[in-house]
Amino acid sequence: MASSAVRGTGSGAARSGPGRAGLLPVRAALPSGAARLVDDYERHLRSERGLSDHTIRAYVGDVVSLLGFLHGVGSEGADAAQADHTSDHGDRARSVAAGRTGLDGLDGLDVGVLRAWLAGQRSAGRSRTTLARRAASARVFTAWAHRQGVLATDPGSRLVAPRAHRKLPGVLRPEQAGEVLKASGTGAAEEAPAALRDHATLELLYATGIRVSELCGLDLGDVDYERRVVRVLGKGNKERMVPFGQPAERAVRRWVEHGRPALAAETSGAALFLGVRGRRVDPRTVRRVVHDAVESVPGAADMGPHGLRHSAATHLLEGGADLRSVQELLGHATLATTQLYTHVTVERLKAIHDRTHPRAQ
C-alpha cells in the first residue's frame, strides 16, 4: 500500500535523488515483511510521535530508500550498483544491489549495509546535508525497529555520517523588514480581501517568528487580541504562546473583519487564514506571498517564510533579547538551534566593522 508519505513531488520532495513519486515503485516492490514495517513505522511517526506531514514524508522516504537498497529493488537497488568502487563498502554495495532473494523484513540489515547505502548516495553526488539527514533518518528507524524487537541490535547506533554544513541564513535588515511591511500595508489599504490577508500574514510571521506550518494551522480562537498573544501548535504537538505587537494586531483584525468574510465558505471552518477558494490557506500560497513581498524591496535577500523567521530571531537578539527567551518564542527543542542566530549577528557585526572601521583591514 503506497502511503501519502511518498506521494507527490511538491515542496516536501527530496532535492536530490529520487523524488517522492520516484519512491512509490520502490515501496511497492519491497518484500511483504519490509512493506509492513514501513507501514507500521509511518503509523508510529504519525500517531505516537505527532510529527508534521513534511517530516513524516522525509523520514519514510529515506527508509524506503534504505530498504530498497537492502533488498535490491527499484531505483534504490539500482543506485547501489553505482557505489564508488574505491569505497571501503563498494563490494558490499554491489552485493546488495545484485539482489537478496529469500530475505524479508530487515534480514541482513547491519551497520555495513547502512554504510554501503550512504556510500552509494555519496558517489551519486548527494550533498553532505542530504547524507547527514538520511543517516539521522536511518538511526531513528533502526532504533525504533530494535525497540519493536525486529532487530536484535541497533546498527544505527554505530553509524557515523558527515555533519551537515550549517549555512548562515539570509536575513533582512530591520529597515528592509519595515519596507516590506510598509509596501504590503499600502496594498492592503485598498481593502481587497487577498491583500488584507497577505499583509496580515506578513505582519504576524515577522512579529512572532512562527513557522509557516504553524501560521497555516492557526484558528480564529487562537488569537487573543486583548493580551496580543497567539496560541501556536508546534512540532511534536507542543503548544506555546507567542506575543505580537500592535501593527500585527491591527492587520489581523482588519483581515478578520473585512477580508475573511469575503472569502469564507462552508469549507472554511475555524481557519484564521483562507485561500481564495475559502479553504485553509496552504504553505505554498504563504511562500509565494513572502517571496513576492520581499522581492519588491531593492537589495533584500531572496527568502520565504523561514527567512522572515530568521530575521525576527536575529532582530530580537540584536535588540537585547536573551537566548532562552528567543528559544521559547521560536519553539526550538534545544538551545543549540537558537544559538545559530548568535553566529548570524556576529557575522553581521564583523561585516559592519570591516566596512567602517579605519583599521579593519
At 292, list the grid cell: 513576492
Catalytic residue among 158, 258, 287, 306: 306
> How wide is the angle at C-alpha 290 spanned by C-alphas 285 and 294, nearest 5°?
150
Neighbouring-strand partners of residue 271: 219
Which one of 27, 126, 134, 211 is the catalytic residue? 211
Q: Is 89 a catalytic residue?
A: no
CB atoms inside a 10 Å sphere around CB 295: 12
Which of 293, 290, 272 is closest to 186 using CA atoms?
A: 293
Distance of alpha carbon 164 from alpha carbon 147, whole angstroms: 27
Decide if 353 is catalytic: no
User: Is 7 an annotated catalytic residue?
Assistant: no
Residue 57 appears among annotated catalytic residues: no
The catalytic residue among 92, 115, 134, 332 is: 332
User: Which among 41, 59, 206, 341 is annotated as catalytic?
Assistant: 341
Our answer to whether residue 235 is catalytic in this structure is yes
What are 239's strand-pairing partners? 233
65 vs 77: CA distance, rounded Å:
8
Annotated active-site residue 309? The verdict is yes
| Distance of alpha carbon 50 from the chain centroid | 15
Q: CA torsion angle for 307, 206, 338, 284 (degrees, to 10)?
A: -50
> Measured in Å, how far apart are the chain's first and last C-alpha atoms?
63
Residues 171/311, Cβ–Cβ less than 8 Å: yes
What whole-number distance in Å separates Cα of residue 3 and Cα of residue 35? 11
Distance CA 180, CA 291 (A): 10
CA–CA separation, 197 vs 226, rounded Å?
A: 21
Site of grid cell 481593502? 191
Task: Find the catalytic residue in 231, 235, 287, 291.
Answer: 235
d(Cα 16, Cα 36) in Å, to the nearest integer? 26
Per-residue 3-state assignment (H helix, E strand, C coil) for 195-240? HHHHHHHHHHHHHHCCCHHHHHCCEHHHEECCCCEEEEECHHHCEE
CB 347 within 8 Å of CB 326: no
**Pick the catalytic residue: 115, 309, 310, 315?**
309
Catalytic machinery residues: 211, 235, 306, 309, 332, 341
